[in-house]
Structure 1
Amino acid sequence: MPDTQMRPLGAQISHMLKDRGVDTIFGIPGVHNQEMYRGIEEAGITHVLARHEQGAGFMADGYARATGKPGVAYVITGPGLCNIMTPMGQAYSDSVPMLVLSSCLDETAARRGQLHQMKDQRAAADTVCDWSEEARTAGAAYGLIDRALTEFATGRARPKHIQVPIAVLEEPAPAAPKAVAQGAKPAEALPDGVLARLASARRPLLVLGGGARGATDALRALMARCAVPAFTTYAGRGIVAADDPMLLGSALARPESAEVFARSDLVIAVGTELAEVDLWRAHPGHLGEMIRVDIDTESLTDGAGNTHAIEMTAENFLAALASSEDLPARFDWTAGEIAKARAGFRAGVEAEYQQIPAICDALKACLPEDTMIYSDMTQFAYAATEIWDMDRPGHWHHPYGFGTLGYATPAAIGGAVARRGKPTMAIIGDYGFHYTMAELGVAVELGLSLPIFLWDNAKLGAIEASMVGAQIAPNAVVARNPDFCRLAEAFGARAVAPQTIEEMQTAVRDAFSADGPTLIHVTPAVLG
């Protein structure tokens, strides 16, 4: 039966979200958005109370990455919206479906000095998300929410912001209409010329980005029939089987990868922006043709050297390629050539990051199957994302692009909320931990078995190295750290400071079965 009960619009929005499959909302209530909280419990939605709106946004991001469903956050007018803009910018950069719902003032042109007043709140949010709109009626709110959810499901997932005036949230409103079922996208035929170009190539090369994660089965079927070497971006790790002899790894940022591109005669890049943070150079290095496959036309018209642009989902493209009867089986690349290139990439990481790769190997060896990792802007993660092969996609999440410090702890909390009973962990640096350490209280409150691997080199190590490389005397790269273990214990978390690799591994294993979060404080001295 249709719901004919009139409720304040703020309450109806929660009921609508529940009807659309939303089961968790992250946020902080305030006097301006309290009407949005009226219907949360009645609708049967779990609310996670963050300690800061930035934390709420990162939790929604982590939840979305873990589930593939939109992460939803409720925030207040003004400072609440401003505080969540950093997570919105990160979600925009990494194509994460996040829906931010905020209150806003009823009018701002004729009055000044109102609580939480901004000159143009909607426009401010618009700078860090796909779109930001104001709903001035119940019908507009319902329509915008459905528009956002539909776009998450059918296009490139990026955050959206909807604000509703306080008076409109308070007004009685009918229930939202029932959701309209969305039909599946039909399969698409392979564009003309793709197979012919692949058949004529002697040294083709694949580049797979995060946009190809949903095409893992098709990609692996393709590589089983057609031994094409493949790079992945950091976000694309796990798409190619970790033991595939043609896997070049996530080494695009290594300068030597340009030499591999130069030896290819056809590059097929699928679901990747080939952005600065993928390559750290202006051009991949190929001299031949490049076929670019993406659902985002902006990526098809950039300056990466595309010669053939195909607007198509990665799933449809790779499935069509893998099922073709005319697929070539052999090329001039050899497994030995790929292994030699990979060894060179690893050597470069070891030279740059010294003991970190060895600790990465030890950490990887002690993790349970299906562990999902959220990492931060820290040298430990920079090294790990280059050398740590994943056995499945979408299980390592990092703040690429926007590059926000403090991401890992709250994002991992969001992931752990979504993955109750499954292993989830955070990897964060000492400085990044300062940004969002208060969210540790949320993990304690929820009883999350969450290992937080804190890499403490007592400085902004990457910035120091950059300054030295630029011949700048290192300045402002060292801050006084607290006793992290005692700090964690003050929140009610467990804490341990292992002194050896073996102690570190034991601490990590124990943390996955603890009855709350565990801070694992690791320093470079762990290797002696």
Structure 2
Amino acid sequence: MIDKPLGAQLSHMLKDRGVEVIFGIPGVHNVELYRGIEEAGIKHVLARHEQGAGFMADGYARATGKVGVAYLITGPGLCNAMTPMGQGYSDSVSMLVLSSCLERKDRSIGRGRLHEMKDQEGAAATVCDWSVTAPDAPAAYRLVDKALSELKSSRPRPKHIQVPIDVLGERAPAAPAAAAIAQLPIARPDDVERVAQMMRDAKRPMFLFGGGAVAASAEARKVVEQAQAAVFTTFAGRGVVAGSYPLNYGAYLPRPDSASELAKADLLLCVGTELAEVDLWRDDLGHRCPMVRVDIDTHCLADDFPADLPILGDAKVFLSELSGALGTHSTSEWREADVKAAKARFYSEVDAERPGIAQIAQAMQDALPEDTMYYSDMTQFAYVAKEVVEMERAGHWHHPYAFGTLGYALPAAIGGKVGRGDGPVVAIAGDYGFHYTMQELGAAVELGLNMPIVLWDNAKLKEIEDAMVRSQIAPNAVVAYNPDFCKLAEAFGAYAEAPKSLEDFKSALQNALKADKPTLVYATPEMLG
């Protein structure tokens, strides 16, 4: 390819590496990045705010397993996307953020240039895996390939590459051919055989699957059934083993009494989970037996939950090899009736804590196809649904877990829908959190996405009010003025429905999937009658 400005060459390079979609907003400082997008044949999705662009890249990556790419401007553009970068870091999302930065002659001098920051590279580094400045074209190419390689060969976390404005405009040769990408670490055969023997000796083996096992769902299901093992999942691991599997306790791990169920196991295998605070909400997991941990991140294998046998390795390969080593094994003493009784008890606790929401969440699932992909926000509706709605497929419910930002659902669902095409996608937001990114309704309408947006309106920051009450604080600053959300959606050009009953709610969701643009489904506690 003939020499072109580096900004254009980067788009061609990304296309050559398999990138099909870029989310972003053009500005005077990154226009050179936009020079080659159409020429390279890449689809660009225009967000209404850089936070939206970042969340769209996140949602696209989670839906497709590909890298979510965002193009951003210097200074405020990057700052606006740092929230989604932080969310992607905590949730292990494959994101690549490319931004401009001040010209080489202006960096770190403090001349009051447009969009100037004291340390843009350092600021981004606080919320992603690494943030590096490319001083020239060869460095930019090496960094892009480094990022793409690491996202495939290690724990995926956002990377940030910034290129000075003047460097983006300089002519450069095309990027070199892509280098080979290393494979994920593989467990040692001796460790696999050791675990197989431990399982053969166990009477009550239990698996705990996290988000790191999502790509290993088929292998997980096979080995679990071979061993007739019981299962817990984290929220991110829902669906790794089908919710309908009789010995699956589901995602009730944060229930305090789940510790007593874990204590019944005589062997615990934790696969692809860092056992984070938001997975457990307690310091003691509850097990009293030997624990095996399998992960690709050495940090997770040396944290507050030390394993008797820590194994560095890819979950998919490990579980496949474990299945082969285990052979036929069905000496389990777990009883389906006991698991069912425990789940019923946990469900009752959830329903008592936040009455009525479980019924609405179940109605939502009943109305939608099994392959629906959900994107939820920090809202009580999602907190309940993440526990009580059982998933039959892995990687089909996405939530801003550890970082816990508001405003995630709508833009992430847009990215997910762009990635899934005809596959059904639903966004779930609360009335207050919706304010953070509701402007992305414009992008959803512009793209003509037939996507239901469930807006749960309990007319306040109910979770915060409840926390204040528990802390014996008189509730304050928990009620905000809301617009007429249905009229707001219609003003953006979307459809809107305000169901009055659960049957109306189901119909609204089903109609939204057949529409030619997004539908805001306004849901309230009054639907219960």
Is TM more than 0.5 here? Answer: yes
Shift of 1:225: 1.4
Residue type matched to 2:108 in 1? Answer: A
Q: In 2, Cα distance between the equivalents of 1:182 and 1:304?
A: 31
Report the AA paired with residue 39 of structure 1. Answer: G
Q: Deviations over 1:105-149 (max 9, x none)?
A: 123333421100000000000000000000001000000000000
In 2, the alpha carbon distance for the partners of 1:120 and 1:209 equals 36
Task: Tell me the residue number matched to 1:63.
Answer: 60
Matched, 1:197 2:198: yes
- Quick check: 1:33 aligned with 2:34? no
- Match runs of 1:227-238 below 5 Å: 227-238=228-239
Query: Does the aligned pair in 1 maintain the 2:185–2:314 contact within 8 Å?
Result: no
The structural deviation recorded for 1:473 is: 1.1
- Runs of 5+ consecutive residues of structure 1 not aligned to the other structure: none
1:420 aligned to 2:425? no
Does 2:468 match 1:467?
yes
**Gap change, CA 1:213 and 1:283, over 3 Å in 2:** same
> Matches of 1:187 and 1:284 in 2, distance apart?
26
Per-residue deviation, 1:472: 1.2
Match for residue 372 of structure 1?
A: 373
1:324 is paired with a residue whose SS is helix
Q: Deviations for 1:338-397, whole angstroms, at most 9, x for unmatched residues?
A: 111111111111111110001111111000231111000000000000011111101110
Query: Closer, same or farther in 2 for the Cα pair 1:262/1:488, shift >3 Å?
Result: same
Provide the rounded CA distance (Å) in 2 between the counterparts of 1:437 and 1:400: 20
- Quick check: 1:238–1:392 contact (8 Å CA) kept in 2? yes
Say whether residues 1:51 and 2:48 are aligned partners. yes
CA distance in 1, matches of 2:299, 2:18: 31
Q: Is 1:70–1:97's contact at 8 Å kept on the other side of the alignment? A: yes
Which residue pairs with 1:363 in the alignment? 364
1:79 maps to which residue? 76
Is the contact between residue 321 and residue 327 of structure 1 (CA under 8 Å) also seen in structure 2? no
Aligned equivalent of 1:102, options 99, 103, 115: 99
Match of 2:162?
Answer: 163
1:84, 1:190 → 2: CA distance? 44
Structure 2, unpaired ranges of 5+: none
**Is the 2:184–2:313 contact (alpha carbons within 8 Å) kept by the matching residues of 1?**
no
Residues 474-494 of structure 1 show CA distances to partners (whole Å, capped at 9, x for unaligned) of 111110110000000000000
In structure 1, the residue corresponding to 2:249 is in which secondary structure?
Answer: strand
Partner of 1:303: 304
> Following the alignment from structure 2 to structure 1, what is the Cα–Cα distance between the partners of residues 64 and 495?
27
Post-superposition offset of 1:323: 1.2
Q: Which SS does the other structure have where 2:334 is aligned? A: coil
CA contact (8 A) 2:135 2:164 kept: yes
Could you state the TM-score of these two structures normalised by the residue count of structure 1?
0.98
Partner of residue 146, structure 2 = 147
The corresponding residue for 2:514 is: 513
Aligned counterparts of 2:142 and 2:183: Cα–Cα separation in 1: 21
Aligned to 1:132: 131
Could you tell me which residue of structure 1 aligns to residue 111 of structure 2?
112
Aligned to 1:89: 86
Aligned to 2:252: 251
- 1:330 paired to 2:331: yes
Query: After superposition, what is the alpha-carbon deviation per residue over 1:67-120, rounded to whole angstroms, capped at 9, x for unaligned?
Result: 100000000000001000000000001000000000001233334211000000
Quick one: distance in 2 between partners of 1:194 and 1:325? 9
CA distance in 1, matches of 2:254, 2:67: 30
Amino acid at match of 2:408: Y
- Partner Cα distance (1:186, 1:479) in 2: 49
How far is the alpha carbon of 1:318 from its aligned partner?
A: 0.9
CA gap 1:223/1:239 in 2 versus in 1, 3 angstroms: same
Cα distance between partner residues in 2 of 1:415 and 1:15: 23
- Name the counterpart of 2:172: 173
Contact 1:252–1:278 (8 Å) recurs in 2: yes
> Secondary structure of 2:428's match?
strand
Mean Cα deviation higher: 214-223 or 138-147: 214-223
- Moved >6 Å (runs of 4+): none
The alpha carbon displacement at 1:180 in A equals: 2.5
Q: Is the 8 A contact 1:190 1:320 kept in 2?
A: no
Partner SS state of residue 115, structure 2: coil
Retained in 1: the 8 A contact 2:205–2:227? Answer: no
* Cα distance in 1 for residues equivalent to 2:426 and 2:110: 47
> What is the Cα deviation at residue 242 of structure 1?
2.1
Structure 2: distance between partners of 1:285 and 1:142: 48
Which residue does 1:273 correspond to in 2? Answer: 274
- Cα RMSD for the two superposed structures: 1.2
Quick check: 361-370 or 139-148, which moved more? 361-370
Equivalence for 1:213: 214
Confirm or deny: 8 A CA contact 1:283 1:305 kept in the other structure: no
The answer as to whether partners of 1:198 and 1:204 remain within 8 angstroms in 2 is yes
- The 3-state SS of whatever aligns with 1:510 is helix
CA distance in 1: counterparts of 2:122 and 2:455, whole angstroms: 37
Deviation, 1:497, is: 0.5
State the match for 2:314 in structure 1. Answer: 313
- Secondary structure of the 1:193 match is helix
Sequence identity of aligned pairs in percent? 59
Secondary structure (helix, strand or coil) at the match of 1:156 reads coil
CA distance in 1, matches of 2:306, 2:70: 39
Contact 1:102 1:162 survives alignment (8 Å): yes
Shift of 1:198: 2.0
Does the CA contact (< 8 Å) of 1:55 and 1:410 recur in 2? yes
Aligned to 2:481: 480
Deviation at 1:199, TM superposition (A): 2.5
Amino acid at match of 1:508: L
Counterpart code for 1:316: V
Contact 1:241 1:391 (8 Å CA) reproduced: yes
Q: Which secondary structure state, in structure 2, belongs to the residue aligned with residue 297 of structure 1?
A: coil
Does the CA contact (< 8 Å) of 1:190 and 1:317 recur in 2?
no
Flag the 1:187–1:122 CA change in 2: closer, same or farther, 3 A. Answer: closer
- Does the Cα contact within 8 Å between 1:195 and 1:327 map onto a contact in 2? no
* Aligned-residue offset at 1:161: 0.1
1:182-241 deviation per Cα after TM superposition (whole angstroms, max 9, x unaligned):
466696525152123222322221100010011111111112211000001101111112
Identify the match of residue 13 of structure 1 among 10, 26, 33: 10
Distance 1:346 1:22, change over 3 A: same
Closer, same or farther: CA 350–325 of 1 in aligned 2, 3 Å: closer
Which deviates more from structure 2 when the two are superposed, residues 155-164 or residues 417-426?
417-426
TM-score normalized with structure 2 length: 0.97
Q: Which moved more, 1:389-398 or 1:100-109?
A: 100-109
The SS at the match of 1:516 is coil
Match in the other structure for 1:397: 398
Contact kept in structure 2, 1:265 and 1:289, CA below 8 Å: yes
Q: In structure 1, what is the Cα distance between the partners aligned to 2:381 and 2:232?
A: 21
CA distance in 2, matches of 1:502, 1:476: 34
Q: Matched residue pairs, number?
A: 525
Does the CA contact (< 8 Å) of 1:430 and 1:455 recur in 2? Answer: yes
